[in-house]
Amino acid sequence: MNNIEEIKARIDIVDLVSETVKLRRAGKNYTGFCPFHANTRTPAFVVFPDSGTWRCFGECNEGGDIFKFVMKKEGWDFPEALRYLAEKAGITLEPVTPKKKEENEYIEKLRSILEDAVIFFRHHLTQTENGRQTLSYLKQNRLLNDKTIETFELGYAPNAWEAMLDHFHNKGINDKALLDCGLITKRNEADGYYDRFRNRVIFPIRDASQRICGFGARALSNDDMPKYLNSPQTLIFDKSALLFGLDKARKPIRTADQVIIVEGYFDVIGLYQAGFQNAVSPMGTALTPVQMRHVKRYTRKIVLALDPDSAGEKATLKGLEVARETMDHSAEFVFDPRGLVRSEARLDADIRVCSLPDGLDPDEIALQDAARWQTVVENAKPIITHVIDTLTAGKDLEDPKTKSEIAEKVIPLIKDVPNAVERDTYRQQLAKILHVSEQSLFSVSEVQYLNKRRPRRQKMALEPDSLETQVKAERNKFYNLEKHILLLLVKKPDMVYDLDRYLKKNDLQPISEEDMEFGDLQLVLSLILDSLKQIDTAAEEYIDAKLPEDMTWLKTDSEELILKPENITQNHLFTDLVQTFLNLRKNKVVEKINSLSMLHSSSETEPGNLDMSMIQRELLESIKMRATLDRVLSSPLIGD
């Protein structure tokens, strides 16, 4: 694959065009207003994801690929567009040296050998006695028909140590090339090699461009281990970057606007035969970011079809506790809820989980009863809902310890959800199931936050015991929201201007010292606002110089929050600031409504000197403000 092909493979044309054109889905394509001429009435600009091209059917009457789009948009020539897109794709451009040309030719030679191996395995499946027994297994046990077997090019590896080795030696292919293809294995204690695949059903694995990359294989004897065996890592086989069946599922995925992720080869093949041709498999490992990006090119709606062993309580707990690095190197499928939630946010995707009935695989369900499989998929739940249901199933939810343990595992997942409405919905859902208040779940979240950061906060003007007491109090909710706002502003004070503009745009008052209830934090906010009013010193330097010694922990925590995370952008920080600030005001408004309602009720039962008209007026204004804040919180954040 040359640089241009690699760039096209890595950059999704829909994502690229969406950076400057607002696109809407229209069937399997996307439409919008052409960015190259004035037009606000007819969306005549179309992006075709299948071909990776675009075309304007209006005044321009032009079209092309991602390179042409960038060249026309920026007024660049091809080399400039190539450099820009290569950097965007993370590709280092290198001249095609004689050595590089030789490497590319060698890779094509390896692919040619693998294509020959496909024919070899197919021959042994259809033209040998042992192969015909395997064919019978595929038809009778796996219920596959001849057309499906041919479509997926299934084969049989003979039960011999050097059958393939001899086959290729007779063709003049040396051991190094076969080893580089992953077809043979070096003997441990003696010289020589032997066939990697023996007495197994063979599944050719192709990339999205239908190029052969390697093989998967299933043992036919219970004595042969492992049950499933893939090609090793080679120059052209990288299991973490491949999805079995994607070469055949690309168009069905776009048509259905949904992809089904299943665990095994037979799951993909059986679903395909049953008419569900939008299924792929990560081949027995946790889904990797590369695989997720491949899927995103075709749809953002992802359903994980997992059996109880893979998505039950034990597997879910393992996925919540095991390090991501371990998952990526696991030989088995690992259900990784937190990784999936973060991928869902990063890819702007909708990832759901459907649990299968005990003892049944997707292919078994679909081939026996297609309608039942359709129902299973339609009943798929969001990741967090699945985790909540899994962890609470069969548990004594009257036991406080059990409630606490479940909450501590689920709350971190909820915190990873970027959408405020979704976060609140999941928190309400968990609170309802555990029969606890939402405030107590918020406190669990803050306990985790404080415990994690406690060692860096020795200079706080609070005793450790009183801090622990505060965490249990509802007032600490406000303290942590106010503190988070200051952590964002103390190193980025200029964001105050952006925040005020956003608030003004939404008919809200600018930030002020009155937004801070706690004296130490109110002082810091006052200092931040003062830094923007003076002109003698840079705002950040002004704050550093005047920040009280017992508040210097703010700078340390601010650096960790803003500077250390990878790939964090100014937009991420501003979004965080706005959402936190709006939630702070909403919480305070809700508290005010509750207090005024209580005063109103008490004045009715015990009349006194309270000004009822004032209370009613304040209550009405507060209710209106809550409605305004709810509206703003539920609206997409569009920066000025």
CATH number of the domain that residue 209 is part of: 3.90.980.10
pLDDT of residue 466: 34
Domain boundary (71, 89, 107) is at 89
Tokens representing 30 are 């996307």
Regarding whether 127 and 216 lie in a shared domain, the answer is yes
Average pLDDT along the chain, 640 residues, taken 10 residues at a time: 75 90 82 83 80 79 85 85 88 78 90 97 95 94 96 96 95 95 89 93 93 95 90 92 93 89 93 96 78 82 77 50 41 63 71 84 93 94 89 89 89 82 89 85 56 43 36 55 88 89 91 77 84 86 77 74 70 88 88 66 47 71 89 72
CA–CA gap between residue 237 and residue 214 (Å, rounded): 6
Per the structure, the complete domain to which residue 546 belongs is given by: 474-634
pLDDT of residue 563: 67
Regarding whether 46 and 193 lie in a shared domain, the answer is no
Please name the residue that has the structure tokens 């046990």: 141
Do strands 45-48 and 29-32 pair parallel, antiparallel, or not at all (unpaired)? antiparallel
CA–CA gap between residue 49 and residue 569 (Å, rounded): 28
Q: What is the pTM of this model?
A: 0.62
In a domain, 165, yes or no: yes
pLDDT of residue 529: 92
Regarding whether 216 and 185 lie in a shared domain, the answer is yes
Regarding whether 387 and 315 lie in a shared domain, the answer is yes
pLDDT of residue 265: 95
pLDDT of residue 46: 87
CATH of the domain at 273: 3.40.1360.10
Regarding whether 136 and 105 lie in a shared domain, the answer is yes
Nearest CA to 624 out of 598, 593, 584 is that of 593
- The torsion region of residue 153 among left (phi > 0), alpha (psi -120 to 50) and beta comes to left
Domain boundary (237, 266, 297) is at 237
CA–CA gap between residue 354 and residue 381 (Å, rounded): 6
CATH of the domain at 452: 1.20.50
**What DSSP element (H or E) covers 206?**
strand 200-206
- The residues that bridge with 230 in the sheet, in sequence order, are 216
Regarding whether 630 and 497 lie in a shared domain, the answer is yes
Regarding whether 490 and 451 lie in a shared domain, the answer is no
In a domain, 596, yes or no: yes
In a domain, 60, yes or no: yes
Regarding whether 381 and 401 lie in a shared domain, the answer is no
CA–CA gap between residue 132 and residue 156 (Å, rounded): 9
Regarding whether 538 and 452 lie in a shared domain, the answer is no
Regarding whether 246 and 334 lie in a shared domain, the answer is yes
Q: Tell me the DSSP string of 428-439.
A: HHHHHHHT--HH
In a domain, 316, yes or no: yes
In a domain, 461, yes or no: no
- Listed in sequence order, the residues at least 6 apart from 217 whose beta carbon sits closer than 8 Å to its beta carbon are 157, 197, 200, 201, 202, 203, 228, 229, 230
In a domain, 469, yes or no: no
- The residues that bridge with 306 in the sheet, in sequence order, are 355
pLDDT of residue 245: 96
Number of domains observed in the structure of the chain: 5
In a domain, 491, yes or no: yes
pLDDT of residue 614: 63
In a domain, 426, yes or no: yes
pLDDT of residue 184: 95
Regarding whether 187 and 129 lie in a shared domain, the answer is yes
pLDDT of residue 470: 35
Tokens representing 357 are 């009935």
CA–CA gap between residue 123 and residue 509 (Å, rounded): 76
In residues, how long is the chain?
Answer: 640
- Listed in sequence order, the residues at least 6 apart from 98 whose beta carbon sits closer than 8 Å to its beta carbon are none
Nearest CA to 45 out of 30, 29, 56 is that of 56
Strands of 212-219's sheet, edge to edge?
A: 155-157, 200-206, 212-219, 228-230
pLDDT of residue 108: 92
Domain boundary (31, 57, 89) is at 89
Regarding whether 554 and 570 lie in a shared domain, the answer is yes
9, 32, 196, 326, 627 from 215: Cα distances, Å = 22, 42, 10, 24, 58
